[in-house]
Structure 1
C-alpha cells in the first residue's frame, strides 16, 4: 500500500469534452440527479482497457457512452494498490473526460474501511478522495465489495463513509452486497452508504446456483431487488448488478459457459426497474472472451447482440428513460389472469405507461383494468397495438415476457 504515495505525483489531464463540477444528488423518490437533472445510472463493471477500441477502430468509450452507459467501475479488483493500478485509474478517468457523458465509479476497496487496526488507511483514503473529488470524470465512490458476506467491519465502513462525504459531499457512496446473508445482517451496513444494492447472476448451469433463495429462476432478480428495498427500509436508492459473465460460468473453474439471452436480460432488467431499482449495471464484459474479442479486452459480441439493443429502449434521450426517471405519479391497477405479473404504471406527459413482466408460470391471458383511458395502447418495441376498452388492456403473456404499453390518458 506504500505505492499509494504515488498518487500525489500523478499528472492531472485537462479535458476538453468534460469540464466543470459534478454533483450527483438523490431526490426524495430516490431518483438520482446529475447537476440537478434527473438521470438513470446505467453502468458496467469492471471497466474496459483505458485505450480500448471497437472492432472497427473507433473509440470504445464513446461507443459505450453513445450506447447508453454512463458509469463504469475503476480501481483495484484482485490487484493491489500498485503503480499499475493507479496509472490505469488515472488513464481511465482521463479517457472518459475526453469523451464526456460517462464517469468512473472509483473502487476504494479496503481504504474505505477505517478499522482501528489499520490506522494507515485514513491518510491513504484522504489522498484518493482529495485527488479525484473535483474531476468531472468521477461520478461515484465504491466502498468494500459485498461487505456482509465478507464479514467486513460495519463500524469501520461507517467511519470511512463519514470521512468520504466530509471530503466530497457531491458524490454518493455505493455499497453492493452479495446475494447472501439475512436482512438484519445486511442492515448493519446501511450507515456506510448513500446507495445500496446487490449482485445476482441467476443464469448458469444448473440455473440459479448464485441464488441463496428458494427461487432459482431468473425472476429471482426481482426477489433480491425487493429484498434490498426492505434492507434499507425504502430510504435509499437501490442499484442492481446483473451478470454477463461471472465466476459460476467460467470453464476454467469447472463450469459451463453460458450468458443471458437478449430475452432473459431484457426480462431481468425490466423486472429490476419495476421492483424498485434506480440504477443497474452489468458485470463481466471482460470475462472469458472469444478469440474474436480477445484483442479488444471486451465482449463486443455481447455488447452488439444483446446490450446495445436493450439499452436503446431506455437510455438517455429515449421516451422510456423519461418515464423511468419521472417524478412518481404511479397508478394501482387490477390484474387478472395470473398471480405472477409485476408492473409499474405511471402517468407521464399526458400518457399512461404500463411496464409489465411475468414470472415463470404458464402462458396466460392477462387483463389490466383501472387505466382511466380508452382507445388504443401501443405495445412499445413490438410493432403492434392492443385495444383499450373501458380502461382495460387485455394481452397474452408467455413466461418471462415483458410488455410495455403506452396509451393516451383521458
Structure 2
C-alpha cells in the first residue's frame, strides 16, 4: 500500500459525504455525547461537587514514551498544520513565525530531516527516521466505514475500497496502516462525521480505542455547509431537529467535539485528543459556507482547550473565498495570520498551565459559559468561553478562594468578593482567561 498523497486526501475530502451515507452502517446514532450550546459540560461542576485533581489525558509526560517522540516537557504544546509541504527554510520560517511547531501529515516531497533539524516536529503518513510520529488514514470512518472487511488498498476515486465492494473495512485499514509504522513511534489518526455524528458509541469507540496514540476529529462548525443538519450537528439536541444558525455556528461546539472523542474512550486508558480547526474557507464556494474570522478562530481554539484538547491542528487549505490556496498561513497573511499568531503565542505562553492538571469542582459559574480550572505551581487558573451566541454575564464562585482575578492579556483585574467575581462575555466568541491571586490550591 502506498502512503496517502495530497491528491488522494483531496479526493477523500470531496467524496466523504457521499461515501459516508453508504458506508457508516453502524446502527443507531450515538446518544448526545456532551454539552451542547446551552448545556453544562463535565468541566463545569455543580456547587456540591468535590474538588478533584485530574491529570491531562494520558498524563503530563505522555509523549516521552515514544521513539523520537514529541517533547514531554511542560513547555511544549502541539500547534500544527495539516498536510503542508516543507521544501526549504523559508517555508519553515513563515510557519514558525505564526506559532506553528508541528506538521501533521505532509506532502511526499517534504523535507522531514529539515523540519527535525529546525527544532520542529513532523508526523507524516510515511516512515522517516527524523519523524516524531506516524499518521494513519484520514477520515476512514467516513469513506471506508466501520468494519473488518478486506481492504483493497484503494482510496476513494481509485476503485473499490473494500472487498466485497460496499462492505465496510475502516478498522482493517487502520490496522494495516499501523503495521507499516516504525516500531515504537507515536501513532496519530483523524476521524470525521462518522465517529462524531453517524455511528453509535460502540461502533465509533472501536476507532477511538486501541488503534492510535493521539486522536482528533474535524468538525468545522463555522464553515461546513451541512453540519447544522438534523443528522449531523443535530446530535447536540438528540437528533430531533436541525440546529439554528445561532446554535450551530458557535465556538462552544468545538469543545463539544473534544468531549465526544473523550467520552468514547476507555476511562482507564485515556489518550490525548487534539483539536482540528479551520483557519480559512475549507468547503468551497457553495451555499452556507464562509471564511472563518479571527475572533471565531480564537474562540474555537479556546473552547477546545477548555474541554481538554492537548493539541491544536489547523486545516491550512482554502477551497473557496478570496484566497484559494493550499497554504493559508503563507499566502493569506493579511486575513487570518495576525490573529492566529496571537492565539498561538498565548497558547505557547500558557503551555505549562495547559499541561498541568485540572482542578475539577474548584470553580462554578452561573451564566452562559463553559469553563475549566487548572492548577500550576500552586496557583489556580480559570479559563472560560461563552457557550451562547449572544454571550452574557457570568458569575464565578471559587472554592479555593482568592482576592483578585487577573484577566490574562487584557490589562485588567476583577476583585473577588466573598469568593465570587463577575465578568461580561460580549458574544459567542468571547473568551476570558483568569489567573487567581491570593487563593489556595484547595489542598493539592
SS of match in other structure, 2:338: helix
CA pair 51-257 structure 1, distance change in 2 beyond 3 A? farther
CA pair 213-233 structure 1, distance change in 2 beyond 3 A? farther
For this pair of structures, how many residues does the alignment match? 336
CA pair 328-188 structure 1, distance change in 2 beyond 3 A? same
Match of 1:60 in 2: 91
Q: TM-score, normalised by structure 1?
A: 0.72
Match of 1:236 in 2: 271
Unaligned runs of 5+ in 1: 5-25, 53-58, 77-84, 108-127
CA pair 209-246 structure 1, distance change in 2 beyond 3 A? farther
Match of 1:388 among 413, 416, 419: 416
Match of 1:141 among 124, 127, 134: 134
Distance 1:295 1:27 in 2: 32
CA pair 205-237 structure 1, distance change in 2 beyond 3 A? closer
Match of 1:121 in 2: none
CA pair 348-69 structure 1, distance change in 2 beyond 3 A? same
8 A contact 1:196–1:237 mirrored in 2: yes
Is 1:181 equivalent to 2:198 in the alignment? yes
How far did 1:290 drift?
4.9
CA pair 245-272 structure 1, distance change in 2 beyond 3 A? same
How far did 1:313 drift?
0.9
How far did 1:51 drift?
3.3
Kindly report which structure 2 residues correspond to 1:65-214, keeping only aligned pairs within 5 A, or say none.
65-75=96-106, 85=108, 88-89=109-110, 91=111, 93-100=112-119, 102-107=120-125, 128-129=126-127, 132=128, 134-135=129-130, 138-152=131-145, 153-160=169-176, 162-164=178-180, 167-178=182-193, 179-182=196-199, 183-189=201-207, 190-204=209-223, 208-209=227-228, 212-214=232-234
8 A contact 2:369–2:384 mirrored in 1: yes
How far did 1:140 drift?
2.2
SS of match in other structure, 1:60: helix
Aligned Cα root-mean-square deviation (Å): 3.2
Distance 1:206 1:354 in 2: 34
How far did 1:312 drift?
1.4
**Structure number with higher relative contact order (C-alpha < 8 Å, ≥ 6 residues apart):** 2
Distance 1:327 1:41 in 2: 17
Q: TM-score, normalised by structure 2?
A: 0.67
Match of 1:261 in 2: 293
Match of 2:354 among 306, 324, 330: 324
How far did 1:46 drift?
2.1
8 A contact 2:226–2:232 mirrored in 1: no
How far did 1:36 drift?
3.7
Match of 2:363 in 1: 333
